[in-house]
Amino acid sequence: MLAPIAGFFDSPYRRIARRHGAGLVVTELVSAEGIVRMNRKTAELLRFHPEERPVAIQVFGNRPDLMAEAAAIVEGLGPDFIDVNMGCPARRICNSGSGAALLLDPVMMHDIAAAMVRRVKLPVTAKIRIGWDDERRWYRDGVRALEDAGVAAIFVHGRTRAQQYAGRADWDAIAEIAAMARVPVVGNGDIRSRAEALERMASSGCPAVMIGRGAIGNPWIFSGRVPAFAEVVAQIKEHLDVMLDFYGDRGIVLMRKHIVRYIHAFRGAKHVRRDLVMSEDRAEIHRILDALVESHPDLQRDESVEAPPVEEGEE
Ligand SMILES: Cc1cc2nc3c(=O)[nH]c(=O)nc-3n(C[C@H](O)[C@H](O)[C@H](O)COP(=O)(O)O)c2cc1C
Protein backbone atom coordinates (compact mmCIF):
# COMPACT_ATOMS: atom_id res chain seq x y z
CA MET A 1 0.00 0.00 0.00
CA LEU A 2 1.03 3.60 -0.49
CA ALA A 3 1.48 5.42 2.84
CA PRO A 4 0.22 9.01 3.00
CA ILE A 5 2.96 11.63 2.51
CA ALA A 6 1.71 15.21 2.75
CA GLY A 7 3.09 17.36 -0.05
CA PHE A 8 4.04 14.40 -2.25
CA PHE A 9 1.30 11.81 -2.52
CA ASP A 10 -1.48 13.87 -3.99
CA SER A 11 -4.15 12.62 -6.38
CA PRO A 12 -1.80 12.58 -9.43
CA TYR A 13 0.87 10.51 -7.68
CA ARG A 14 -1.64 8.17 -6.05
CA ARG A 15 -3.00 7.28 -9.52
CA ILE A 16 0.52 6.52 -10.70
CA ALA A 17 1.26 4.39 -7.62
CA ARG A 18 -1.94 2.39 -8.14
CA ARG A 19 -1.02 1.75 -11.74
CA HIS A 20 2.38 0.46 -10.62
CA GLY A 21 0.78 -1.99 -8.22
CA ALA A 22 0.11 -0.23 -4.90
CA GLY A 23 -2.90 -2.10 -3.51
CA LEU A 24 -4.44 0.86 -1.75
CA VAL A 25 -3.75 4.55 -1.33
CA VAL A 26 -4.52 7.14 1.37
CA THR A 27 -4.82 10.91 0.99
CA GLU A 28 -2.59 13.18 3.01
CA LEU A 29 -3.99 14.34 6.33
CA VAL A 30 -6.93 16.77 6.08
CA SER A 31 -8.17 18.85 9.00
CA ALA A 32 -11.64 18.02 10.34
CA GLU A 33 -12.25 21.71 10.98
CA GLY A 34 -11.18 22.49 7.43
CA ILE A 35 -13.59 19.87 6.11
CA VAL A 36 -16.50 21.36 8.01
CA ARG A 37 -15.64 24.85 6.65
CA MET A 38 -14.65 23.47 3.23
CA ASN A 39 -12.47 26.14 1.65
CA ARG A 40 -10.78 25.72 -1.74
CA LYS A 41 -7.53 24.33 -0.39
CA THR A 42 -9.37 21.65 1.57
CA ALA A 43 -11.53 20.73 -1.39
CA GLU A 44 -8.37 20.22 -3.45
CA LEU A 45 -6.86 17.93 -0.78
CA LEU A 46 -10.04 15.86 -0.76
CA ARG A 47 -10.27 15.32 -4.51
CA PHE A 48 -9.45 11.92 -5.85
CA HIS A 49 -9.71 10.14 -9.21
CA PRO A 50 -11.65 6.88 -9.74
CA GLU A 51 -8.38 5.23 -10.83
CA GLU A 52 -7.09 5.66 -7.28
CA ARG A 53 -9.62 3.24 -5.82
CA PRO A 54 -9.40 1.74 -3.29
CA VAL A 55 -8.67 5.13 -1.70
CA ALA A 56 -9.04 6.35 1.87
CA ILE A 57 -9.44 9.96 2.93
CA GLN A 58 -7.38 10.69 6.05
CA VAL A 59 -8.76 13.12 8.61
CA PHE A 60 -7.12 14.66 11.68
CA GLY A 61 -8.64 16.45 14.63
CA ASN A 62 -9.05 16.41 18.38
CA ARG A 63 -12.81 16.40 19.05
CA PRO A 64 -15.11 13.39 18.63
CA ASP A 65 -18.11 15.50 17.55
CA LEU A 66 -16.17 17.44 14.94
CA MET A 67 -14.43 14.32 13.66
CA ALA A 68 -17.81 12.59 13.28
CA GLU A 69 -19.15 15.61 11.41
CA ALA A 70 -16.11 15.62 9.12
CA ALA A 71 -16.49 11.87 8.56
CA ALA A 72 -20.09 12.35 7.45
CA ILE A 73 -19.05 15.04 4.95
CA VAL A 74 -16.16 12.93 3.69
CA GLU A 75 -18.44 9.93 3.27
CA GLY A 76 -20.50 11.99 0.87
CA LEU A 77 -17.44 12.32 -1.39
CA GLY A 78 -17.45 8.56 -1.91
CA PRO A 79 -14.04 7.24 -0.82
CA ASP A 80 -13.66 3.55 -0.01
CA PHE A 81 -12.96 4.18 3.66
CA ILE A 82 -11.99 6.91 6.11
CA ASP A 83 -8.72 6.93 8.04
CA VAL A 84 -7.92 8.86 11.22
CA ASN A 85 -4.44 10.32 11.67
CA MET A 86 -3.07 9.41 15.09
CA GLY A 87 0.62 9.65 14.24
CA CYS A 88 1.54 13.06 12.93
CA PRO A 89 4.48 14.35 15.03
CA ALA A 90 4.32 17.99 13.88
CA ARG A 91 4.18 20.40 16.82
CA ARG A 92 1.40 22.45 15.20
CA ILE A 93 -0.81 19.33 15.05
CA CYS A 94 0.19 17.78 18.40
CA ASN A 95 -0.22 21.03 20.35
CA SER A 96 -3.91 20.99 19.54
CA GLY A 97 -4.24 17.41 20.78
CA SER A 98 -4.44 15.90 17.27
CA GLY A 99 -2.16 13.48 15.45
CA ALA A 100 0.42 11.71 17.62
CA ALA A 101 -0.77 13.57 20.75
CA LEU A 102 -3.70 11.15 20.79
CA LEU A 103 -1.24 8.34 21.60
CA LEU A 104 -1.10 9.81 25.13
CA ASP A 105 -4.86 9.47 25.54
CA PRO A 106 -6.28 6.04 24.64
CA VAL A 107 -9.70 7.10 25.91
CA MET A 108 -9.77 9.96 23.40
CA MET A 109 -8.49 7.59 20.68
CA HIS A 110 -11.50 5.43 21.44
CA ASP A 111 -13.98 8.29 21.61
CA ILE A 112 -12.89 9.82 18.31
CA ALA A 113 -12.87 6.52 16.43
CA ALA A 114 -16.17 5.41 18.01
CA ALA A 115 -17.92 8.69 17.14
CA MET A 116 -16.83 8.31 13.52
CA VAL A 117 -17.74 4.61 13.31
CA ARG A 118 -21.21 5.40 14.66
CA ARG A 119 -21.74 8.25 12.23
CA VAL A 120 -20.80 6.63 8.88
CA LYS A 121 -21.42 3.39 7.02
CA LEU A 122 -17.94 3.30 5.48
CA PRO A 123 -15.16 1.44 7.29
CA VAL A 124 -13.06 3.65 9.56
CA THR A 125 -9.36 2.87 10.08
CA ALA A 126 -6.64 4.51 12.16
CA LYS A 127 -2.97 5.19 11.47
CA ILE A 128 -0.88 5.26 14.64
CA ARG A 129 2.69 5.32 15.88
CA ILE A 130 3.82 2.97 18.67
CA GLY A 131 3.82 5.69 21.32
CA TRP A 132 4.78 9.19 22.33
CA ASP A 133 8.34 8.45 23.49
CA ASP A 134 10.37 5.55 24.88
CA GLU A 135 8.73 5.86 28.28
CA ARG A 136 5.25 6.00 26.84
CA ARG A 137 4.97 3.26 24.24
CA TRP A 138 1.27 2.82 25.00
CA TYR A 139 0.38 0.97 21.82
CA ARG A 140 -1.31 -1.96 23.57
CA ASP A 141 -3.88 0.34 25.21
CA GLY A 142 -4.26 2.31 22.00
CA VAL A 143 -4.88 -0.76 19.88
CA ARG A 144 -7.47 -2.14 22.32
CA ALA A 145 -9.19 1.26 22.39
CA LEU A 146 -9.38 1.37 18.60
CA GLU A 147 -10.68 -2.19 18.35
CA ASP A 148 -13.35 -1.50 20.95
CA ALA A 149 -14.34 1.57 18.94
CA GLY A 150 -14.94 -0.64 15.90
CA VAL A 151 -12.15 0.33 13.51
CA ALA A 152 -11.76 -1.96 10.50
CA ALA A 153 -7.94 -1.98 10.39
CA ILE A 154 -4.93 -0.31 12.00
CA PHE A 155 -1.90 1.09 10.19
CA VAL A 156 1.19 1.14 12.40
CA HIS A 157 4.29 3.25 11.81
CA GLY A 158 6.83 1.58 14.10
CA ARG A 159 8.31 4.75 15.60
CA THR A 160 7.44 6.91 18.59
CA ARG A 161 6.54 10.57 18.19
CA ALA A 162 9.82 11.53 19.87
CA GLN A 163 11.74 9.69 17.16
CA GLN A 164 10.11 11.74 14.40
CA TYR A 165 11.82 9.99 11.46
CA ALA A 166 15.15 9.16 13.15
CA GLY A 167 16.34 5.76 14.29
CA ARG A 168 14.65 2.66 13.02
CA ALA A 169 11.05 1.54 12.92
CA ASP A 170 10.47 -1.14 15.57
CA TRP A 171 9.15 -4.09 13.60
CA ASP A 172 9.09 -6.28 16.73
CA ALA A 173 6.44 -3.97 18.17
CA ILE A 174 4.56 -4.09 14.87
CA ALA A 175 4.65 -7.92 14.94
CA GLU A 176 3.38 -7.89 18.51
CA ILE A 177 0.46 -5.68 17.50
CA ALA A 178 -0.30 -7.89 14.49
CA ALA A 179 -0.42 -10.90 16.82
CA MET A 180 -2.61 -9.27 19.47
CA ALA A 181 -5.08 -7.35 17.32
CA ARG A 182 -8.45 -8.69 16.24
CA VAL A 183 -8.42 -6.50 13.13
CA PRO A 184 -5.92 -6.48 10.24
CA VAL A 185 -2.69 -4.63 11.07
CA VAL A 186 -0.67 -2.98 8.32
CA GLY A 187 2.99 -2.44 9.17
CA ASN A 188 4.92 0.64 8.08
CA GLY A 189 8.39 2.06 8.37
CA ASP A 190 11.67 2.07 6.44
CA ILE A 191 10.70 -0.31 3.63
CA ARG A 192 12.92 0.46 0.66
CA SER A 193 12.20 -2.32 -1.85
CA ARG A 194 9.56 -4.83 -2.86
CA ALA A 195 11.76 -7.65 -1.53
CA GLU A 196 11.92 -5.94 1.86
CA ALA A 197 8.14 -5.46 1.81
CA LEU A 198 7.60 -9.18 1.28
CA GLU A 199 10.13 -10.03 4.00
CA ARG A 200 8.45 -7.68 6.46
CA MET A 201 5.03 -9.16 5.73
CA ALA A 202 6.34 -12.69 6.27
CA SER A 203 8.27 -11.92 9.47
CA SER A 204 5.74 -9.57 11.13
CA GLY A 205 2.58 -11.48 10.31
CA CYS A 206 1.04 -8.33 8.78
CA PRO A 207 -1.24 -9.10 5.81
CA ALA A 208 -0.01 -5.91 4.14
CA VAL A 209 2.60 -3.19 4.54
CA MET A 210 2.70 0.49 3.61
CA ILE A 211 5.53 2.25 1.81
CA GLY A 212 6.04 5.98 2.20
CA ARG A 213 9.38 7.63 1.53
CA GLY A 214 10.62 4.66 -0.48
CA ALA A 215 7.95 5.38 -3.07
CA ILE A 216 8.89 9.04 -3.62
CA GLY A 217 10.21 9.28 -7.18
CA ASN A 218 10.03 5.49 -7.37
CA PRO A 219 6.62 4.02 -8.18
CA TRP A 220 8.44 0.90 -9.46
CA ILE A 221 8.96 -0.13 -5.83
CA PHE A 222 5.52 -1.74 -5.97
CA SER A 223 6.35 -4.08 -8.86
CA GLY A 224 10.01 -4.53 -8.00
CA ARG A 225 10.95 -3.81 -11.61
CA VAL A 226 14.11 -1.82 -12.31
CA PRO A 227 13.19 0.74 -14.96
CA ALA A 228 15.46 1.69 -17.83
CA PHE A 229 16.24 5.41 -17.89
CA ALA A 230 13.97 5.95 -20.91
CA GLU A 231 11.11 4.52 -18.88
CA VAL A 232 11.81 6.90 -16.01
CA VAL A 233 11.72 9.79 -18.46
CA ALA A 234 8.41 8.57 -19.93
CA GLN A 235 7.00 8.36 -16.40
CA ILE A 236 8.16 11.89 -15.55
CA LYS A 237 6.45 13.23 -18.68
CA GLU A 238 3.24 11.44 -17.91
CA HIS A 239 3.32 12.55 -14.27
CA LEU A 240 3.82 16.13 -15.40
CA ASP A 241 0.78 15.90 -17.65
CA VAL A 242 -1.39 14.55 -14.84
CA MET A 243 -0.11 17.38 -12.61
CA LEU A 244 -1.01 19.99 -15.23
CA ASP A 245 -4.47 18.47 -15.61
CA PHE A 246 -5.03 18.49 -11.88
CA TYR A 247 -3.45 21.79 -10.82
CA GLY A 248 -3.40 23.83 -14.01
CA ASP A 249 -0.22 25.90 -14.52
CA ARG A 250 0.83 25.41 -10.88
CA GLY A 251 1.49 21.78 -11.79
CA ILE A 252 4.90 22.64 -13.30
CA VAL A 253 6.25 24.11 -10.07
CA LEU A 254 4.69 21.39 -7.91
CA MET A 255 6.32 18.77 -10.15
CA ARG A 256 9.86 19.98 -9.39
CA LYS A 257 10.31 18.05 -6.16
CA HIS A 258 9.18 14.89 -7.94
CA ILE A 259 11.54 15.37 -10.89
CA VAL A 260 14.50 15.79 -8.53
CA ARG A 261 13.63 12.49 -6.87
CA TYR A 262 12.93 10.56 -10.08
CA ILE A 263 16.39 11.35 -11.36
CA HIS A 264 18.48 11.66 -8.19
CA ALA A 265 19.89 8.13 -8.37
CA PHE A 266 20.99 8.56 -11.99
CA ARG A 267 24.35 10.19 -11.47
CA GLY A 268 24.74 10.94 -15.19
CA ALA A 269 21.62 13.14 -15.07
CA LYS A 270 22.98 15.52 -12.46
CA HIS A 271 24.05 18.20 -14.93
CA VAL A 272 20.49 18.80 -16.20
CA ARG A 273 18.87 18.92 -12.77
CA ARG A 274 19.10 22.66 -12.50
CA ASP A 275 17.70 23.28 -15.96
CA LEU A 276 14.84 20.90 -15.28
CA VAL A 277 13.76 22.52 -12.04
CA MET A 278 14.17 26.06 -13.37
CA SER A 279 11.96 25.42 -16.36
CA GLU A 280 8.40 26.63 -16.38
CA ASP A 281 7.55 25.14 -19.72
CA ARG A 282 6.31 21.63 -20.50
CA ALA A 283 7.88 21.53 -23.97
CA GLU A 284 11.24 22.66 -22.60
CA ILE A 285 11.19 19.98 -19.91
CA HIS A 286 10.45 17.42 -22.61
CA ARG A 287 13.35 18.72 -24.72
CA ILE A 288 15.83 18.50 -21.83
CA LEU A 289 14.72 14.98 -20.95
CA ASP A 290 14.72 13.77 -24.56
CA ALA A 291 18.21 15.16 -25.13
CA LEU A 292 19.41 13.36 -22.03
CA VAL A 293 17.99 10.01 -23.15
CA GLU A 294 19.58 10.50 -26.56
CA SER A 295 23.03 11.38 -25.21
CA HIS A 296 22.98 8.86 -22.33
CA PRO A 297 20.70 6.01 -23.44
CA ASP A 298 22.16 3.58 -20.88
CA LEU A 299 22.09 5.70 -17.75
CA GLN A 300 22.05 3.39 -14.74
CA ARG A 301 20.50 3.94 -11.38
CA ASP A 302 23.03 4.02 -8.54
CA GLU A 303 21.24 2.60 -5.51
CA SER A 304 23.92 3.92 -3.16
CA VAL A 305 22.91 7.53 -3.76
CA GLU A 306 20.97 8.85 -0.77
CA ALA A 307 17.57 10.29 -1.64
CA PRO A 308 17.19 14.00 -0.91
CA PRO A 309 15.48 14.40 2.48
CA VAL A 310 11.83 15.37 2.54
CA GLU A 311 10.66 18.28 4.64
CA GLU A 312 10.06 17.08 8.15
CA GLY A 313 7.16 17.50 10.46
CA GLU A 314 4.37 17.33 7.93
CA GLU A 315 3.03 13.95 8.96
C1 LIG B 1 7.00 14.56 4.57
C2 LIG B 1 6.12 13.51 5.20
C3 LIG B 1 4.74 13.68 5.21
C4 LIG B 1 3.91 12.74 5.78
N5 LIG B 1 2.55 12.94 5.77
C6 LIG B 1 1.73 12.03 6.38
C7 LIG B 1 0.32 12.23 6.43
O8 LIG B 1 -0.23 13.20 5.91
N9 LIG B 1 -0.44 11.30 7.08
C10 LIG B 1 0.13 10.20 7.69
O11 LIG B 1 -0.60 9.39 8.28
N12 LIG B 1 1.45 9.98 7.64
C13 LIG B 1 2.26 10.86 6.99
N14 LIG B 1 3.61 10.62 6.94
C15 LIG B 1 4.16 9.38 7.53
C16 LIG B 1 4.24 8.25 6.51
O17 LIG B 1 2.96 7.87 6.07
C18 LIG B 1 4.95 7.02 7.10
O19 LIG B 1 4.23 6.59 8.21
C20 LIG B 1 6.39 7.29 7.53
O21 LIG B 1 7.05 8.10 6.59
C22 LIG B 1 7.16 5.98 7.73
O23 LIG B 1 7.11 5.18 6.56
P24 LIG B 1 8.31 5.16 5.45
O25 LIG B 1 9.56 4.81 6.19
O26 LIG B 1 7.89 4.11 4.47
O27 LIG B 1 8.38 6.53 4.87
C28 LIG B 1 4.46 11.57 6.38
C29 LIG B 1 5.84 11.38 6.35
C30 LIG B 1 6.68 12.32 5.78
C31 LIG B 1 8.16 12.07 5.75
How does pLDDT run across 12-65, given as a tens digit for each residue? 999 999 999 999 999 999 999 999 999 899 999 999 999 999 999 999 999 999
Ligand 1-lining residues (CB < 6 angstroms): 3-7, 28-29, 58, 85, 87-88, 127, 157, 165, 188-191, 211-214, 310-311, 314-315
75 C-alpha to ligand 1 centroid (Å) = 23
Ligand 1 nearest atom to the CA of residue 127, by list position: 11
Give the Å distances, CA to CA, from 207 to 139, 152, 179, 183, 202: 19, 14, 11, 11, 8
Where are the alpha helices (H) located in the chain, listed in sequence order?
Answer: 11-19, 32-37, 40-46, 64-75, 91-94, 106-119, 139-149, 171-180, 194-204, 229-247, 250-263, 273-278, 282-295
Counting every residue, how long is the chain?
315
Q: What percent of the chain has pLDDT over 70?
A: 98
Long-range (24+ apart) CB contacts under 8 A made by 294-300 are 296/229, 296/268, 296/269, 297/229, 297/230, 298/229, 299/229, 299/266, 299/268, 299/269, 300/229, 300/266, 300/268
Is residue 156 exposed (0-12), middle (13-18) or buried (19+ Cβ within 10 Å)?
buried
Does the pTM exceed 0.75?
Answer: yes
Give the separation between CA 136 and CA 141, rounded to whole angstroms: 11
Q: What is the pLDDT of residues 178-233, one digit of tens each?
A: 999 999 999 999 999 999 999 999 999 999 999 999 999 999 999 999 999 999 99
Ligand 1 nearest atom to the CA of residue 190, by list position: 25
CA-based end-to-end distance of the chain:
17
6 C-alpha to ligand 1 centroid (Å) = 7
87 C-alpha to ligand 1 centroid (Å) = 9
